[in-house]
Amino acid sequence: MEKRLLIVIDGPAGAGKSTVARMLAKKLRYRYLDTGATYRVVALKAKERGITPEMTAELDRLCAEIEIGFGDNEEGQRVHMDGKDVTEAIRTPEISMLTSRISQERVVREALVDLQRRLGGPGVVAEGRDMGMVVFPEAEVKFYLDANPQERGTRRYKELLDRGIPVILSRVIEDTNRRDRADQNREIAPLQMAPDAIPIDSTGLTPAEVVERMITEIEQRAYGKR
């Protein structure tokens, strides 16, 4: 592909955004940006400090002080909080639910959107929940990735089991539906599909099949290839 693009992928929890975004970035030789991880890091730090979502002033100070970084090794992308690797610690069900609440606070969103914009740009595949509408409305190519709630919950359940976290399938599906409602109904930057986004339903598709469909759309939309 000739010119380097800014590509964004939005969608609900469990739609496969992270897996697909990493694969797409690798195929295009782009940099992968997991914006959801930045909110998870803030949630983890808030939990460690005993800060609840209602403690706005404390959250504001936390966002000003915390250092969030990304690195790569043979295992893939790693996430760091104040120099400490927290890649696994930010992926527990407890942090997932706290992240959904923390991310509704204006002071948190303003601080992290500014960080995400600094990390984004041409040659980046960014995934999250408000990429196309809020963070990168100027992105050349936007995708909205979804799947039915049962499949999304099952994917999340298998992911947690693979990480050695004991969970119950019905509870994971219930948590997924609860997070959907919270993300879609939050006052600030609710989860929604950008008008110019390309919708893809990943139900029943492998990540590789989703990536191939995305490549086709990118070539057609950005380069006029048929």
Give pLDDT tens digits for 154-169.
988 988 888 888 889 9
Q: Tens of pLDDT along 57-84?
A: 999 999 999 999 988 776 678 999 999 9
Given this model, what pLDDT does residue 71 score?
86
> What DSSP state is assigned to residue 127?
E
Structure-model confidence comparison of residues 11 and 181, the more confident one? 11
Quote the pLDDT of residue 1: 47
Q: How far apart are CA 81 and CA 111, in angstroms?
A: 15
**Beta strands 141-146; 198-201: pairing state:** parallel
Residue-wise pLDDT for 19-41, tens only, equals 999 999 999 999 999 998 999 99
Of the two residues 212 and 36, the one the predictor is more confident about is 212
What are 7's strand-pairing partners? Answer: 125, 141
92-106, 143-157, 184-198: lowest mean pLDDT where?
184-198
Domains of the chain: residue spans and CATH:
13-218 (3.40.50.300)
47 versus 103: which is more confidently predicted? 47
Sheet (strand 6-10) strand order: 31-34, 124-128, 6-10, 141-146, 198-201
